[in-house]
């Protein structure tokens, strides 16, 4: 799941982004309203974390511009402003939640996941497909009740595919969901990642798997053909 963090305090932004990445999110950081406006128009995000005290404009102008474009991406405002009037103004402009600074990273992660469970967002605390179960809170995957040993990136890919189970996910969508700005992504990074994930699911006896649709993308379905059947070696 890909997040945009809009925060002018670069140290706070760096520490917050690091914590969110450890929690399984891909995170892009920008530090001004202008940078934020550019980012939300060129990349698709699952949620936006918005500081209000930006150096070039009030963060609420970013929010208002998003909603004027009918951009319904969930927005969580991070602010030191604790006045009721400020909170009401933000909510009326279309903010989905508020979190006052200073905040605990654990609460921020919990609030983001709560936003992603709302109707119209990426739903589910526990995601299921076949005998695969993914606990999004504890970020643990099991197959038939047995823990599945996956790398962080493999877990991220499995979560993304589970949230779109039964639907085709393009290579570009996977790249956007798994990697942030500035991360070096090899031309075959997604293919290699999906190949590893598919093999781990097969070895664990999963009754669902990842099928490659050449030139289109990937789909997680029950009783997916093995890698030989879908053209991967």
Task: Specify the pLDDT at position 230.
Answer: 46
Query: Do 173 and 105 lie in a common domain?
Result: no
| Distance in angstroms (rounded) separating the CA atoms of residues 127 and 148 | 14
* Among 4-13, 20-29, 80-89, 105-114, the least confident range: 80-89
Query: Do 79 and 112 lie in a common domain?
Result: yes
Q: How confident is the model over 72-124, as pLDDT tens digits?
A: 899 999 988 777 888 888 888 889 999 999 999 999 999 998 888 765 544 45
Query: Do 111 and 130 lie in a common domain?
Result: no
- Choosing from 116, 137, 159, the residue where a domain stops is 116
Q: Are 52 and 60 in contact (CB under 8 A)?
A: yes
- Choosing from 55, 90, 116, the residue where a domain stops is 116
Q: Is residue 54 part of a domain?
A: yes
| Distance in angstroms (rounded) separating the CA atoms of residues 66 and 119 | 19
Q: How confident is the model over 159-189, as pLDDT tens digits?
A: 889 988 888 999 888 888 888 776 777 788 9
Task: Specify the pLDDT at position 125.
Answer: 66
Query: Do 101 and 130 lie in a common domain?
Result: no
Torsion angle in degrees (nearest 10) through CA of 182, 19, 60, 53: -90
Query: Do 109 and 8 lie in a common domain?
Result: yes
Query: Do 207 and 184 lie in a common domain?
Result: yes
The CATH number linked to 111 is: 3.40.50.2300
* Among 17-31, 49-63, 117-131, 174-188, the least confident range: 117-131
Average pLDDT, the chain: 87
The CATH number linked to 154 is: 1.10.10.10
- DSSP code of residue 53: B
Q: How confident is the model over 118-160, as pLDDT tens digits?
A: 655 444 567 889 999 998 777 889 999 999 999 989 998 998 8
The DSSP result for 101-133, as a single string, is SS--HHHHHHHHHHHHTSTTS---SEEEETTEE
Query: Do 135 and 208 lie in a common domain?
Result: yes
Q: Is residue 121 part of a domain?
A: no
The DSSP result for 147-192, as a single string, is E----HHHHHHHHHHHHTTTS-B-HHHHHHHH--TT----TTHHHH
Q: Is residue 94 part of a domain?
A: yes
* Among 66-75, 111-120, 206-215, the least confident range: 111-120
Q: Is residue 230 part of a domain?
A: no
More confident residue, 136 or 199: 199
Task: Specify the pLDDT at position 124.
Answer: 54
Query: Do 55 and 132 lie in a common domain?
Result: no
Q: Which of 224, 188, 144 is nearest to 174 (CA)?
A: 188
Query: Do 92 and 147 lie in a common domain?
Result: no
- Choosing from 71, 96, 116, the residue where a domain stops is 116
Is 195 exposed, middle or buried (CB count within 10 Å of its CB: 0-12, 13-18, 19+)? middle
Query: Do 102 and 178 lie in a common domain?
Result: no
- DSSP code of residue 145: T
Which structure tokens are listed for 56?
């070039």
Q: Which domain holds residue 201?
A: 126-222
Backbone φ and ψ of 28, nearest 5°: -105, 140
More confident residue, 87 or 10: 10
When divided into structural domains, the chain yields a total of: 2
| Distance in angstroms (rounded) separating the CA atoms of residues 204 and 194 | 15
- Mean pLDDT along residues 22-35: 92
Task: Specify the pLDDT at position 43.
Answer: 80
pLDDT value at 193 more than 60: yes
139: left (phi over 0), alpha (psi -120 to 50) or beta: left
């Amino acid at each position: 799941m890909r997040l945009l963090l809009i925060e002018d305090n670069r140290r706070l932004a760096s520490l917050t982004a690091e914590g969110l990445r450890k929690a399984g999110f891909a995170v892009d950081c920008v530090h001004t309203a202008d940078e934020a406006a550019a980012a939300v128009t060129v990349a698709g995000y699952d949620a936006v974390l918005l500081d209000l005290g930006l150096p070039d404009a009030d963060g609420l102008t970013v929010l208002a511009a998003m909603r004027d474009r009918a951009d319904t991406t969930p927005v969580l405002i991070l602010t030191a402003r604790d006045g009721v009037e400020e909170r009401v103004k933000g909510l009326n402009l279309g903010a989905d939640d508020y979190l006052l600074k200073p905040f605990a990273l654990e609460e921020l992660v919990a609030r983001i996941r709560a936003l992603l469970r709302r109707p119209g967002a990426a739903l589910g605390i526990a995601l299921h497909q076949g005998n695969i179960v993914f606990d999004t809170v504890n970020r643990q995957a099991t197959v038939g009740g047995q823990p599945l040993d996956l790398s962080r990136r493999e877990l991220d890919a499995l979560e993304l595919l589970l949230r779109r189970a039964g639907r085709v996910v393009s290579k570009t969508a996977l790249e956007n969901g798994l990697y942030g700005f500035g991360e070096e992504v090899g031309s075959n990074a997604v293919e290699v990642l999906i190949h590893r994930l598919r093999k781990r699911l097969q070895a664990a006896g999963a009754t669902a798997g990842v099928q490659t649709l050449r030139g289109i993308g990937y789909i997680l379905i029950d009783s997916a053909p093995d890698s030989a059947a879908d053209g991967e070696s």
